[in-house]
A = this chain, B = another copy of it.
Amino acid sequence: MEVGKLLEEKVSRRGLIKGMGKLVVGATGIAVVSGFGTKILGNAEAAKKMSSELPWPYKKFSSKDIKRAAEIAHANWFKGFCTFATLSGIVEMLKEKVGEPYKSLPLEAFIFAHGGTAGWGGTCGTLIGSGIAASLATGHKTGEQIANEVVDFYSETALPIYVPDHPKAELKAKSTSHSPVCHISVGKWMKAEGIAEGKGPEGVGFLSAQQMDRCARLSADVATRTIELLNDWADAKFKTAHTSPVMANKIPSQNNCTDCHGDKIPSPGPFGTGMDILTGKH
């Protein structure tokens, strides 16, 4: 595949020094930032400038760091919704642990991606925040691999797991979305919680205290999973466990075909005729 080859070459050209550290090309020149080097230089010295080159320096999160990142993500949902919540949960900690270039990242530039992009119910915004953080810290190739694993976690895990010390609402239900799509994920959870039909205390399912706290907790869950994988990567233990659906299904897709297609799932082979359902020929 031409495109894949191009990307592959691009990554190779960057010449990452594997197993040793990460090459950071910034406005101030080139610096090899290894775990060792970062320690000697100190956080503030490691990378003073915002850099258009990836990856940026990463320092492993302790259990305590992860707990704080989750707390920030949960709290920040109420300031800027899901993408901002997940991204800032990770990046606020990296500002403390690493400093620049994370301090210069304009976190508000990504708020728009909430609610599946400006409220259009597409990809859950937490996954956009997660993918940005993972790509900044590891580069675009590993960042996308981590994003793929996080989407799989999001789709196949009963969420939310995180229980805040100071919840905004008591929640009963967890649900598995089988999809990264906000509309499906939120809808299934509200059904499970019993507030899909306006039964929440505020008389409405969406924007009830429960739904908002669910999405805030889920932001913490996605931040936590992202950090776990970043820590694995820092230990050279990260492995891709799942094939992206675009390769597995030969079209950008999810694995919850029946949710939308009913039993009219595209037949085997390249695309079969399953798209018929979208054009009314069924």
Contacts and interface: CB of A to CB of B under 8 A. Distances in A.
Contacts of A128: 113, 117, 128
Given A52-B103, A104-B27, A109 B123 contact: no
Interface string A240-282: 0000111100111110000110100000011111010111000
A264 to B, nearest CB: 10
A191 B279 CA distance: 8
Contacts of A117: 123, 127-128, 131, 147, 151, 180
A148 interface: yes
B81 A122 contact: no
6 closest Cβ pairs, A-B complex? A119-B246, A122-B123, A50-B50, A121-B252, A115-B252, A260-B260
B112 A122 contact: no
A197 B272 contact: yes
A101 B105 CA distance: 10
Which of A123, A128, A184 has most chain B Cβ within 10 Å?
A: A123
A252 B186 contact: yes
A270 B205 CA distance: 7
Interface stretch (A38-46, A65-73, A133-141, A229-237): A133-141
Contacts of A151: 117-118, 120
Given A119-B247, A122-B181, 4 more contacts: A1-B207, A52-B106, A118-B151, A128-B128
A215 to B, nearest CB: 10
Nearest to A267: B197
A145 B246 CA distance: 30
Nearest to A116: B252
Nearest to A272: B197
Contacts of A272: 197
A80 interface: yes
A97 interface: no
B244 A191 contact: no
A120 B78 CA distance: 27
A10 B84 CA distance: 14
28 contacts: A2-B78, A3-B207, A27-B104, A52-B103, A54-B106, A56-B106, A101-B104, A106-B135, A108-B135, A111-B140, A112-B132, A112-B140, A116-B123, A117-B127, A117-B131, A117-B147, A120-B180, A121-B245, A121-B252, A121-B254, A122-B180, A123-B123, A181-B181, A187-B275, A191-B275, A191-B278, A196-B275, A262-B262
